[in-house]
């Protein structure tokens, strides 16, 4: 990563350039065009998938569940008529930026942040926003106060999302016709890893085992799975069940999944989600299983290791996965999916491919209402989904649109693969908190568009170890102007994105973790946090509900 003397430009000092969308001129997005063309082709019914048909007893349970959900939906609908409410889901894989996003969003709403593109706030129609007790007693509260203190006062990033949490914000506003109104905004923060569990509901233990093993034999996963594979080779699935064996297999399998998440590999598709994000289930038997090498699909011998693993896998689906989708996911109205696309681009082609697969799986979750039997239980009512590439402040503004274009292309490809015809989708590159400034930096006689920030204590570049106080200028590299290049490169063998002047194999765009920005002491009570395009995200997600 290049460092050089910084020479500040006019651009560097203040807030980032805001990219105003020309909403008036906007035509249909490719997703919505595709949705319309598919609907026209198939009428309202899309080609059905073949799904597992539940046994009679499950059908009865299913019908009871349906009735319960229908009643809840009616009650919620009635309540929402008098007290309009938006349940906004915030998800993304671990460290995608969920906690920072929610903290910045709530702070911006309550403080009246600098959000010119968020029309209701920009035009002054929002009178105020305040926190209120959340509706779900069984869900932990999002610890806004602690996170805000970390960001604003201690100048360190808050602790990341480990499990689901919720926060209610009441927004008082004036409608465009002048009437005084209130919108209740429920923010639901949950790990994206849990979303990637949905396909398990359709898979038997045997199918899941086979699929997980096939995936673990692809590179770079294979090298990370060596210890688990070696242990697996010693196991006889028909041997008597043994708790210690199951625990060792589950531990080695979990270690492999964790290694895949490491920044160097940045893999995304790693179910079961609770193995990486156990929430309050760490160590429970429902998480003590792993794939086995199975030949044939015969029923497992009684009391065998295979039977034990299968039973736990089924328990995981019924006590963990299904309740999450039923109780939380199915009740969302809007969704933002945060994506650390830069981490995938940094890690190279395999990570880019994997991210695209994960996006396909995520879109499948929002599709389920349309066409599967299973869907009735977990049908989402989400009508808008925003995919957001986070941490755009690690790039010079010249690359913000490029990052957005890459994620857009990735999402389009995922939507095609998922045959997606559901909610309205948009894509954005943002930084919920802008921790850098911009400058032109001279390097080898060339002026390079760079970013300036304070690397966190303990970060290093080459031999230099940073103390958390020193500001450095970094040339972060360019993203390609043509987003398709990323996918063509993803097919080539080595190397992710490379920038001119870098040797092959040298990772460009690798970024140092910088500290949150220093804020003006004059307004220390509640200084506004700088951001990039957070207001555009809010306009897409909430603009129509605040008219």
User: Binding residues for ligand GDP, per CB under 6 A?
Assistant: 92, 94-100, 157, 160-161, 390-391, 393-394, 431-433, 435, 513-514
Angstrom distance (rounded) from CA 321 to CA 196:
10
What is the closest distance, in whole angstroms, from the C-beta atom of residue 96 to ligand GDP in the complex? 4
Asked whether the beta carbons of 257 and 275 are under 8 A apart, the reply is yes
- Rounded distance between C-alpha atoms, residue 117 and residue 95, angstroms: 26
Question: How far apart are CB 468 and ligand GDP at their closest, in Å?
Answer: 13
Task: Please answer whether residues 155 and 515 qualify as being in contact, where contact means their C-beta atoms are separated by less than 8 angstroms.
Answer: yes
Is residue 461 helix, strand or coil?
strand
Closest CB 353 distance from ligand GDP, rounded Å: 22
Identify which of residues 69 and 388 has a Cβ nearer to ligand GDP in the complex.
388
Closest CA to 273 of 370, 193, 362: 193
Looking up tokens 């693969």, which residue turns up? 417
Query: For ligand GDP, which is the closer residue by CB, 99 or 399?
Result: 99
Q: What backbone torsions phi and psi does residue 168 show, to the nearest 5 degrees? A: -105, 130
The CB-of-263 to ligand GDP minimum distance in angstroms stands at 11
Residue 477 and residue 500: Cα distance in Å, rounded? 8
Shortest distance, position 451 Cβ to ligand GDP, whole Å? 10
Phi, psi of 458 (to 5 degrees): 95, -20
| Beta strand extents in 147-214 (DSSP E only) | 165-174, 180-189
Least gap, CB of 220 to ligand GDP (angstroms): 22
Residue with Cβ nearer ligand GDP (183 or 196) = 196
* CA 118 – CA 245 distance, rounded (Å): 55
Interatomic CA distance for residues 353 and 411, integer angstroms: 12
Q: Least CB distance from residue 340 to ligand GDP, whole Å?
A: 8
Q: How many CB atoms lie within 10 A of CB 434?
A: 23
Minimum distance, C-beta of residue 365 to ligand GDP, in the bound complex (Å): 18
Residue 9 or 160 with smaller CB distance to ligand GDP: 160
What does the alpha-carbon distance between residue 542 and residue 331 come to, in Å, rounded to a whole number? 17
Which residue lies nearer to ligand GDP by CB, 202 or 437?
A: 437
- Closest CB to ligand GDP among residues 377, 451: 451
Nearer to ligand GDP, 365 or 435 (CB): 435
Q: Are 372 and 51 contacting, i.e. CB atoms less than 8 angstroms apart? A: yes
Minimum Å gap between C-beta 252 and ligand GDP is: 25
Secondary structure in 3-state letters for 396-459: CHHHHHHHHHHHHHHHHHHHHHCCCCCCEEEEEECECCCCCEEEEEEECCEEEEEEEECECCCC
Nearer to ligand GDP, 249 or 473 (CB): 473
- From the list 547, 545, 542, 544, the residue with the least C-alpha distance to 106 is 542
Q: Which is nearer to ligand GDP, 95 or 334 (CB)?
A: 95
Place of tokens 């170890």: 465
Shortest reach from residue 10's CB to ligand GDP, in Å: 22
Buried b (16+ CB within 10 A) or exposed e, 170-185: bbebbeeeeeebebbb
Residue 218 or residue 262: which is nearer to ligand GDP going by CB? 262
CA–CA separation, 195 and 199 (whole Å): 9
CB of 476 to ligand GDP, least distance (A): 11
CA dist 109 and 4 (Å) reads 37
Compute how many other C-beta atoms are within 10 angstroms of the C-beta atom of residue 419.
Answer: 18
Q: Of 427 and 432, which has the nearer Cβ to ligand GDP? A: 432
């Amino acid at each position: 990563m290049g460092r050089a003397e910084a020479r500040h430009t006019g651009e560097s000092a203040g807030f980032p350039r805001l990219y105003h969308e020309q909403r008036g001129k906007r035509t249909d997005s490719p997703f919505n065009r595709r949705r319309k063309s598919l609907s026209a082709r198939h009428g309202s019914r899309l080609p059905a998938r073949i799904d597992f048909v539940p046994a009679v007893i499950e059908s009865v349970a299913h019908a009871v569940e349906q009735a319960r959900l229908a009643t809840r939906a009616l009650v919620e609908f009635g309540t929402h008529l008098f007290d309009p409410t938006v349940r906004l889901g915030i998800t993304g894989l671990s460290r995608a930026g969920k906690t920072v996003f929610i903290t910045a969003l709530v702070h911006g709403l309550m403080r009246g942040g600098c959000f010119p593109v968020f029309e209701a706030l920009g035009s002054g129609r929002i009178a105020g926003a305040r926190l209120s007790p959340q509706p779900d007693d069984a869900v932990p509260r999002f610890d806004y106060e602690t996170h805000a203190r970390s960001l604003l006062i201690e100048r360190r990033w808050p602790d990341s999302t480990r499990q689901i949490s919720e926060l209610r914000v009441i927004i008082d506003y004036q409608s465009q016709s002048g009437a005084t109104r209130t919108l209740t905004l429920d923010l639901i923060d949950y790990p994206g890893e849990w979303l990637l569990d949905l396909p398990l509901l359709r898979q038997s233990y045997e199918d899941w085992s086979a699929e997980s093993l096939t995936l673990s034999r692809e590179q770079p996963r294979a090298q990370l799975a060596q210890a688990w594979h070696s242990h697996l080779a010693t196991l006889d699935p028909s041997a008597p069940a043994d708790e210690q064996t199951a625990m060792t297999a589950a531990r080695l399998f979990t270690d492999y999944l964790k290694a895949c998440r490491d920044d160097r590999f940045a893999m995304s598709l790693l179910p079961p989600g609770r193995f990486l994000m156990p929430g309050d289930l760490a160590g429970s038997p429902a998480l003590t299983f792993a794939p086995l090498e199975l030949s044939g699909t015969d029923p497992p011998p009684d009391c065998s290791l295979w039977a034990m693993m299968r039973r736990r896998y089924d328990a995981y689906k019924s006590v963990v996965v299904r309740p999450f989708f039923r109780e939380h996911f199915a009740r969302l109205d809007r969704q933002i999916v945060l994506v650390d696309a830069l981490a995938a681009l940094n890690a190279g082609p395999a990570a880019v491919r994997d991210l695209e697969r994960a996006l396909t799986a995520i879109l499948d979750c929002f599709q389920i209402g349309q066409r599967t039997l299973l869907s009735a239980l977990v049908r989402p009512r989400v009508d808008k989904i925003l995919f957001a590439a986070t941490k755009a402040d690690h790039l010079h503004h010249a690359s913000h649109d490029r990052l957005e274009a890459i994620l857009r292309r990735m999402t389009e490809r995922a939507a095609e693969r998922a045959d997606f015809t559901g909610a309205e989708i948009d894509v954005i590159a943002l930084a919920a908190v802008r921790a850098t400034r911009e400058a032109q930096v001279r390097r080898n006689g060339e002026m390079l568009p760079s970013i300036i920030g304070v690397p966190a204590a303990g970060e290093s570049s080459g031999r230099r170890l940073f103390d958390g106080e020193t500001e450095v200028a970094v040339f972060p590299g360019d993203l390609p102007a043509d987003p398709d290049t990323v996918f063509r490169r993803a097919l080539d063998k080595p190397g992710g994105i490379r920038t001119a002047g870098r040797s092959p194999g040298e990772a460009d765009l690798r970024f140092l973790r910088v500290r949150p920005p220093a804020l003006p002491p004059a307004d220390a009570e509640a200084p506004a946090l700088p951001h990039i395009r957070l207001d555009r995200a809010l306009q897409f997600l909430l603009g129509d509900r605040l008219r």
